[in-house]
Amino acid sequence: MKTFPLLLLFLTLTLSTQILQAQQQNATITGKVVTTDNKPAEAVSVGLAGTTKGAITKYNGEFTIVNVQPGNYSLVFTGIGYKKLTKHITLTDGQTAKITVTMNDDEQQLQVVEITGRKEKTYKTTATFIGNKTQTDIKDLPQSVSYASKELISDLGATRIGDVVKVFSGVNQFTTYDDLTIRGFRVNGGSNTQLLNGLRTSTGFWKQPLTNYLERVEVLKGPSSALYGNASPGGVVNRVTKKPLNETRQTVSFSLGSFNTFRALSDFTGPANKDSSLLYRLNLGYEDANSFRDLQFDKNIIVAPSLSFVASPKTRINFDLVYNNSKSRLDRGQSTRMNDLYSTPSSLSINTGNDRLNEQTYIVTLSGSHQFNDKLSFNAAYSKTGYQEDLYEHRSANAYAVDGNNTAIPNLVAMQIFSRVRKRYVDNFSGYFNYKDNTGILEHNIVAGYDYGSEKLPVGASQLTASGYRNAANNGSIGSYDPTKKANYLLDKNGNPVPNVPSFNLDDVLNSQRMQDDSKDFFAQVAVDPTYYYLNAGYVQDQIKLGKFQALLGVRYEYYTDFANYKKSTEAKTHSSAWLPRFGLVYTANSNINFYGTYVEGYNPQTASTLSNPNAGGPFKPLTSNMIEFGAKSSWLNDMLTISTAVYQIDQNNTLYNANVPDQPDLLRQVGKERSKGIEFDIAGRITPNWSILASYAYSDAKITQSLIPAEVGQQKPNAPKNMANIWTRYNVNRGLFNGLGIGAGANYVDKRSLSLNLAQGIPNYTLVNAALYYQVGKVQLQFNANNITNKKYWVGGYDYLRLFPGAPSNYLLTLNYTIK
């Protein structure tokens, strides 16, 4: 019995020795993963195929896998933003294998919205999510896309969307608000038809958002309802926020410029933990700027954090927040004397000193993707927008004051006062499965998903309005003046009706702009009823590839539910629905050139809630549209430069225009049919490694083809120029005496336009010339932008000669950029 413990001890020691010997004979793998520019690739997953062993690269790109039995293996490298890489390795007893691999950027990550930060640093963007809801090479998308990268935005010194889109073909500003004209059709940020990270959102409409937190701005041309629900037939604007990078970058910038402009911006990104499974990005912005326009100013605070959690090589989650606190005045435009465009200065604003526009906006997005296997993945994203408005303004009543005979007085602008508070909330969810497989010789990329969207203007929105003329008893007001009933009105010593709100005197501007004693004016409540609608949509599309051909076949079903008389005793649900097909074909002529054709349809219900305008009137028939487009996309100079062209025709039914009723400025009316047809040409990229360029030209024949008013038929649509041309180029010197110097220059041409369906009022064409200088010294870059250097007087858009939106005269911006890391 005594020998049993000794035997057990002997066996234990023997077994332990054998285990230790086996461990000593096993192999170790160490290595480093780098990018194509020889920088460490962090957070790359390194797996040993057929085993459970693996590692994740550290901040310096290094990894170690220990205790690997001798044999033949395949090392699999995967990481967000990189192409999958497999490397074969043979291990012998006790070997320590050292390897170095280079990861290439991935162009085919499957995400419903962008989770990985873009590492490209040029004007050229290779891929987009906007066209297919999956990352797709732009050349393989059967539809036209214009875009501006953050590098271009920075080089232009652009701080607003309007400054960015001026380089896009077929895109121009409608006014200085957050609204644009795309291929002759208006799109605005307040109608829930613009996108942020591929999800529908809404802004306050009055002010264009800052661009410091944006990775790029892109426009998908043509009806996009088949992808995103109600949208303008001209196209949809997508603003892509900056996403975290797996390398540390920290920059700050300070700008000083014309009109007492000061901005301070910062951008910090990198891994938040040691294994780089959590990445962060934080963009901050502060702006305090006046304007060449009287009484106008903007004070903005931007906070835009983003977090990416790499749960595994197959699962990723991203959180984004954009918060903007804005204080300003609402600029309703320049007013002139009747039809004399040059009768007042461009600086003229009809505001007063006690006007205000305080806005708060937040947009929160939570998104994620999971790849079940090489063929199947799931993507989902939810976004919530909250908007709050506190407005007090003196604005024109869209008419001139009148005398006792109801004749307009050309130097007096009839005025009204709005005092309004309201909130708006927009919710959107998008989820879909993506399946890639082959059936015989056909390659399939199938997307099937569901979208939900809603917009609500809750109870509590209120507006007080003072307008019209004082009654004879001087204890109230009457909306409009009727000279046949003079006894009903308070008249001045000249027999003219006394306005409720004093008129703005174009001959005495300073007194008209001073703070007004509005306690003497008569205010009336104006209904701002709560509104609510939501939509449910299902869609499926298949991108089929056969040799040199790629076909895109898709269909979407939209089902809208709108609440008429929301929150009232007569509340009732109304429904509308639409089937929206989408067809496209791409032919790859060679490695450089793709030809394409596409047909898409659009649909947009036009109820008070979907218009975000309870005072628009109605009911209105829904917008319906379709587009046929053909084009070519090509790449040149070793893929550094892209050139594309497109020809198109868009038809739209039931467009809304302002009814131009003086005491109902928001009232709309419907026009029967419109057609826009044209051609576009775009160049983007680099001619040499040091020479970047972006250029475009567009011709757009956008006319009303059917209307109840015969005189409108054949008219060019308002604020839709027939010709536009743009160019911007930058050259960097990287050697010799001027090493570190960069020079930029560009020009923008916009054709003449009509302002409304009244052909007597239009604005002339213009050409702007801009330039920039850059100087890089180590981590510091100085940048000087000079805009409109010829001091051209021009107007970016407007509604009529009472609401003109002039462009800025010559101005400059000096920016200091410092890269901390």
User: Alpha carbon 408 to chain centroid distance?
Assistant: 42
pLDDT tens profile 244-273 = 988 889 999 999 999 999 999 999 999 999
Structural domains in the chain (count): 3
Same domain, 169 and 295: no
User: Would you say residue 112 has pLDDT above 80?
Assistant: no
Whether the CB-CB separation of 603 and 624 falls below 8 Å is answered with yes
User: Would you say residue 192 has pLDDT above 70?
Assistant: no
Q: Which two tokens stand for residue 352?
A: 């007063």
Residue 142 gets which letter from DSSP? S
Question: Can you tell me the distance from the alpha carbon of 522 to that of 316, in angstroms, rounded to the nearest whole number?
Answer: 58
> pLDDT class for 109, splitting at 50, 70, 90?
very low
User: Would you say residue 11 has pLDDT above 70?
Assistant: no
Whether the CB-CB separation of 552 and 142 falls below 8 Å is answered with yes
Whether 508 is in a domain gets the answer no
Number of H helices, E strands in the chain: 5, 48
User: Would you say residue 107 has pLDDT above 90?
Assistant: no
Helix (H, G, I), strand (E, B) or coil at 201: strand
User: Would you say residue 612 has pLDDT above 80?
Assistant: no
Q: Considering only CA atoms, which of 257, 292, 252 is closest in space to residue 159?
A: 257
Same domain, 660 and 716: yes
The range of the structural domain enclosing residue 94 comes to 22-103
Cβ neighbours of residue 691 closer than 8 Å, sequence gap 6 or more? 729, 730, 731, 732
Same domain, 86 and 158: no
Whether the CB-CB separation of 212 and 251 falls below 8 Å is answered with no
Buried b (16+ CB within 10 A) or exposed e, 438-449: eeeeeeebbbeb
Q: Which two tokens stand for residue 212?
A: 């410091």
Whether 267 is in a domain gets the answer no
| Domain end residue (candidates: 71, 103, 135) | 103
Cα 109 to Cα 78, 280, 669, distances in angstroms: 11, 19, 45
Question: Can you tell me the distance from the alpha carbon of 120 to that of 475, in angstroms, rounded to the nearest whole number?
Answer: 66
DSSP lists the bridge partners of residue 434 as 377, 447
Q: Considering only CA atoms, which of 395, 453, 385 is closest in space to residue 424?
A: 385
Question: Can you tell me the distance from the alpha carbon of 620 to that of 525, in angstroms, rounded to the nearest whole number?
Answer: 25
* pLDDT over 90, % of the chain: 59
Residue 190 gets which letter from DSSP? G
Same domain, 191 and 99: no
Helix (H, G, I), strand (E, B) or coil at 254: strand
| Block residue for tokens 């009484």 | 295
User: Alpha carbon 203 to chain centroid distance?
Assistant: 11
What mean pLDDT do residues 626-648 have?
93
What mean pLDDT do residues 620-638 have?
90
Whether 621 is in a domain gets the answer yes
Question: Can you tell me the distance from the alpha carbon of 122 to that of 459, in angstroms, rounded to the nearest whole number?
Answer: 47
Q: What is the residue type of 759?
A: L
| Block residue for tokens 């040499």 | 688
Same domain, 807 and 763: yes
Question: pTM of the predicted model, to two decimals?
Answer: 0.82
649 exposure class (CB count in 10 Å sphere: 0-12, 13-18, 19+): middle
CA atoms within 13 A on the CB side of 323: 8
Whether 166 is in a domain gets the answer yes
Predicted confidence at residue 514, as pLDDT, reads: 95
Predicted confidence at residue 200, as pLDDT, reads: 83
Q: For the chain, what is the radius of gyration of the CA atoms?
A: 31
Whether 539 is in a domain gets the answer yes
Question: Can you tell me the distance from the alpha carbon of 42 to that of 57, in angstroms, rounded to the nearest whole number?
Answer: 5
Q: What is the rounded average pLDDT for all residues in the chain? A: 88
Same domain, 555 and 587: yes
Whether 174 is in a domain gets the answer yes
pLDDT tens profile 15-61 = 444 444 444 468 899 999 988 767 788 768 788 887 878 887 877 78
Question: Can you tell me the distance from the alpha carbon of 176 to that of 403, in angstroms, rounded to the nearest whole number?
Answer: 33
User: Would you say residue 773 has pLDDT above 50?
Assistant: yes
Same domain, 146 and 287: no
Predicted confidence at residue 37, as pLDDT, reads: 67
Question: Can you tell me the distance from the alpha carbon of 657 to that of 674, in angstroms, rounded to the nearest whole number?
Answer: 12
DSSP lists the bridge partners of residue 358 as 327, 390
pLDDT tens profile 512-528 = 999 999 999 999 998 88
Cβ neighbours of residue 648 closer than 8 Å, sequence gap 6 or more? 144, 183, 221, 222, 627, 628, 629, 630, 676, 677, 678, 679, 680
Predicted confidence at residue 17, as pLDDT, reads: 46
Least confident among 220-229, 451-460, 584-593, 786-795: 220-229
CA angle 268, 270, 274 (to 5 degrees): 140
Question: Can you tell me the distance from the alpha carbon of 702 to that of 705, in angstroms, rounded to the nearest whole number?
Answer: 9
Same domain, 454 and 549: yes
Q: What is the residue type of 742?
A: G
pLDDT tens profile 733-754 = 988 889 999 999 999 999 999 9
Predicted confidence at residue 654, as pLDDT, reads: 84
Cα dihedral 62/68/74/76 (nearest 10): -40
Whether 488 is in a domain gets the answer no
Question: Can you tell me the distance from the alpha carbon of 196 to that of 180, in angstroms, rounded to the nearest whole number?
Answer: 16
Q: Both ends of the chain: CA-CA distance in Å?
A: 72
Q: Considering only CA atoms, which of 183, 267, 281 is closest in space to residue 223?
A: 183
Same domain, 638 and 738: yes
Predicted confidence at residue 202, as pLDDT, reads: 77
* pLDDT over 70, % of the chain: 90
Cα 12 to Cα 104, 161, 625, 813, distances in angstroms: 50, 74, 82, 79
What is the CATH number for 187? 2.170.130.10
CA angle 754, 758, 759 (to 5 degrees): 55
Helix (H, G, I), strand (E, B) or coil at 691: strand
What is the CATH number for 769? 2.40.170.20
pLDDT tens profile 774-817 = 999 999 999 999 999 999 999 999 999 999 999 999 999 999 99
Question: Can you tell me the distance from the alpha carbon of 402 to that of 558, in angstroms, rounded to the nearest whole number?
Answer: 49
Predicted confidence at residue 618, as pLDDT, reads: 67
> pLDDT class for 111, splitting at 50, 70, 90?
very low
Question: Can you tell me the distance from the alpha carbon of 746 to that of 731, in angstroms, rounded to the nearest whole number?
Answer: 12
pLDDT tens profile 292-339 = 999 999 999 999 999 999 888 889 999 999 999 999 999 999 999 988
pLDDT tens profile 680-737 = 999 999 999 899 999 999 999 999 998 878 888 888 999 999 999 999 999 999 888 8
Same domain, 213 and 242: no
Same domain, 672 and 789: yes
pLDDT tens profile 64-81 = 998 888 888 889 887 766
Predicted confidence at residue 1, as pLDDT, reads: 45
Same domain, 662 and 708: yes
What mean pLDDT do residues 380-394 have?
95
Whether 755 is in a domain gets the answer yes
Least confident among 54-58, 156-160, 340-344, 465-469: 54-58
> pLDDT class for 115, splitting at 50, 70, 90?
low
pLDDT tens profile 196-237 = 888 888 777 888 878 999 998 988 888 776 677 667 788 888
What is the CATH number for 83? 2.60.40.10
Strands (E), 174-241: 179-182, 185-188, 194-196, 199-201, 214-221, 235-241
Is pLDDT larger for residue 573 or for residue 6? 573
Question: Can you tell me the distance from the alpha carbon of 285 to that of 302, in angstroms, rounded to the nearest whole number?
Answer: 5
492 exposure class (CB count in 10 Å sphere: 0-12, 13-18, 19+): exposed
